[in-house]
Structure formats: structure tokens, C-alpha cells
Amino acid sequence: MTHYPSHRYCFKRLDTQAEQEQVNRLLYQTFVLEIPRYKDPGRKSLIDRFHDRNLYFIAVFEQQVCGVLAVHGGPDFSTSKALDDPGKLRELAGPCLEARIFAVKPSHRFGVVFGGLAKLVFTHAVEKGFANILISGLATKQTMYQRMGFRALGQATLRGGDYFVPMTMEVDRVPSKILKDIARFSQR
């Protein structure tokens, strides 16, 4: 695997049509071809069903989008579809932000890209007053998510070929190790 120095990445909000087209191709490569969660739309491009309300955070390397993580503040959340009782989301204190469609080009899959995108999402959640970050986490990675401060809201459900666990993280209860990692990443 090739490793790239973190200082050569740019982490930012998506803001051009060219970046959006690159994101849609990356989503197609990831969620249609590699991890088949969606049917092939026949255009080598996948537009997320929450596209109109998503805020996209991207990782750019040499003017090319190499990673994406989208967020939105509801009111409809894909996480609720994985819950036996979608009303559990109303029991959470404060507003929720859902993080979804995390995708990274295979040659850039290591901690730097995830760390940069996660920092942007966490900072956005704090700045906008969100109390919880929701995810549908891969069941096989549940322990990792728990170390990051997420807790399960329900049982794993099958979507596509993988099991996903609906999870939440309370923004004001992020483990101190994760906060230190975010601060360290900010200094790079």
C-alpha cells in the first residue's frame, strides 16, 4: 500500500460541481462495485438518496477527491430504518447529525483520510450545536466504533451483503483519547 504524507491532503467542504462529480464516481466505485449496497444505476455514478440535504466533507489529494463523508441533520435518518423502534431517536437528548456514505479510494485507506474527515464532522457538529452523531456502523467494526465513543441503539441489520449497527455518539461525551487525536490532527 502506498502511503502519502498528511500535509499533502486538503480536507474541506465540497464546493464545486467537479468535486461533486468525483464524489458520485467514488460512491459508485465503493457502493455499487466494491461493497454492493446499491443497484447499478447504469451511469458509473451514484447519487446519494439524501443528496439534496447532505453536506459533503471531502479529502483531496493532487486535485482529486480521494475520500468523502456526508452528513445531514434530518429529519429523516437512514439510521432509523435499522431500528426496531425508530422512536428511539426522539429519546436522544438534543438534535442529531447523521454521518453516512463514508468512502475512500483504496490507495488512500489509512488513518490520515479518516482522521481528517472525522475531524471536520466533529467540528461541524460542535459548531452547529448537534448533541448526537448517528451512524450505521459495520457490525464487524463495532468494537472500533465503541472505542471512538459510539454506542449501539439496536441490533445489527442486514443491508446489501453486510450487517450494520445503528449507533450514536454524544458529542459532549467523546472519549478524551479521541479528543486528543482530533487536537493532534488539527496541528498537522
DSSP state of 148: T
Per residue in 41-56, pLDDT (tens digit) is: 899 999 999 999 999 9
Superfamily name with CATH number, domain 6-187: Gcn5-related N-acetyltransferase (GNAT) (3.40.630.30)
Q: How many Cα atoms within 13 Å fall on the side-chain side of residue 152? A: 15
pLDDT at res. 115? 86
Q: Model pTM?
A: 0.88
Q: How many distinct helices (H) and strands (E) make up the chain?
A: 4, 8
Helix (H, G, I), strand (E, B) or coil at 103: strand
pLDDT at site 5: 53
Element housing 59 (H / E): strand 55-61
Residue 16 backbone dihedrals phi, psi, to 5 degrees: -135, 155
Please state, in angstroms and rounded to a whole number, the distance separating the CA atoms of residues 184 and 188: 7
Q: What is the mean pLDDT of each run of 10 residues along the chain (188 residues)?
A: 62 97 97 88 93 97 96 91 85 93 93 88 95 93 91 89 90 80 68
pLDDT number for residue 7: 67
**How far is C-alpha 177 from the chain's CA centre?**
20
Segment 80-107, tens digit of pLDDT: 888 888 888 988 989 999 999 999 999 9
* Residue boundaries of the structural domains of the chain: 6-187
* Region of 136 on the Ramachandran plot (φ > 0 left; ψ -120 to 50 alpha; else beta): beta
> Distance between CA atoms of 84 and 153, rounded to whole angstroms?
10
Asked if residue 130 lies in contact with residue 96, where contact means CB atoms within 8 angstroms, the answer is yes
